[in-house]
Amino acid sequence: MTTHTATAPGESRPVALVTGAARGIGAAIALQLAKRGFDVALADLRFDDGDALRASIEATGARADLFVGDIARLDEHEALLAQVLAWAAKPLDCLVNNAGVAPEQRVDLLEMSAASFDRVLDINLRGTLFLTQCVARHMAGTASEHARAIVSVSSVSAEMASPERAEYCVSKAGIAMLTKLFAVRLAPLGIGVFEVRPGIIATPMTQAVAEKYTKRIEEGLVPAARWGQPEDVARAVAALADGSFGFATGSVVNVDGALSVARL
């Protein structure tokens, strides 16, 4: 697999699609990929400040555009990909699966509803799996001069149990197996597939529990003794996306300040 960092003037740029890109980790990933030489298609349910986000990415010299869609709607996947390809005018080189939701309410495992489970799984796992399938078919049927990769943003919750948000944990554990399956299937084609597991990251999703986690971090929960930032995750994703670690396909990268390391 070839690798690249920044793109020289006149050089062909690889194209990445980032889901859940309107804010937080997704927006940081899109910006970091642009700095690494990618043109970036940003997809999300809506963009509250899309013009500013696009401008920040274009300021790096990248092309960028916004695509509105719901990955839980499997019947919209082909249309989303077609729109991105029409905009890019070249094959897709990278998919970053970042779209995801937390339960609307944290409740005890014994009280979890089927409706909440279905909502979280439809977006975090079912939608992600079938969008990945859609993009993988495209990649398998096209050629590119660039390295190609699929990177899924999961969570330390893929392994660390939180009984008050079981549906989220189950969805992220599913992403772990999704990564292994696509890594094995796509390895002969030279397409790298990776999972990135953030820990406690300062994003809109964690804002409601910020006070709780700040206290726990101060008490030693995270060995790095700080909140993670979206940029921490973005740098890991970008390194995996550019082909530098192609032979490490199937790998998991924890971006959590050693939170998930077992300790005595």
The length of the chain is 264
* Residue 168 is among the residues annotated as catalytic for this protein: yes
pLDDT digits (tens, 9 = 90+) for 204-244: 888 888 899 999 999 999 999 999 999 999 999 999 999 99
For residue 264, what pLDDT is reported? 87
pLDDT digits (tens, 9 = 90+) for 181-190: 999 999 999 9
pLDDT digits (tens, 9 = 90+) for 46-99: 999 999 999 999 999 999 999 999 999 999 999 999 999 999 999 999 999 999
Top CATH class, 15-254:
alpha beta
SS (H, E, C) the chain: CCCCCCCCCCCCCCEEEEECCCCHHHHHHHHHHHHCCCEEEEEECCCCCHHHHHHHHHCCCCCEEEEECCCCCHHHHHHHHHHHHHHHCCCCCEEEECCCCCCCCCCCHHHCCHHHHHHHHHHHHHHHHHHHHHHHHHHHCCCCCCCEEEEEECCHHHCCCCHHHHHHHHHHHHHHHHHHHHHHHHHHHCEEEEEEEECCECCHHHHHHHHHHHHHHHCCCCCCCCCECHHHHHHHHHHHHCCCCHHHCCCEEEECCCCCCCCC
**Percent of the chain beyond pLDDT 90?**
92
Domain boundary assignment for the chain: 15-254
Contacts 24+ apart (CB under 8 A), 201-205: 201/24, 201/25, 201/227, 201/228, 201/229, 201/230, 201/232, 201/233, 201/255, 202/227, 202/228, 202/229, 202/230, 203/23, 203/24, 203/25, 203/230, 204/23, 204/24, 205/24, 205/102
Among residues 47, 67, 168, 182, which one is catalytic?
Answer: 168
- pLDDT of 14 > 90? The answer is yes
Q: How many CB atoms lie within 10 A of CB 224?
A: 14
State if pTM tops 0.85.
Answer: yes
For residue 6, what pLDDT is reported? 54
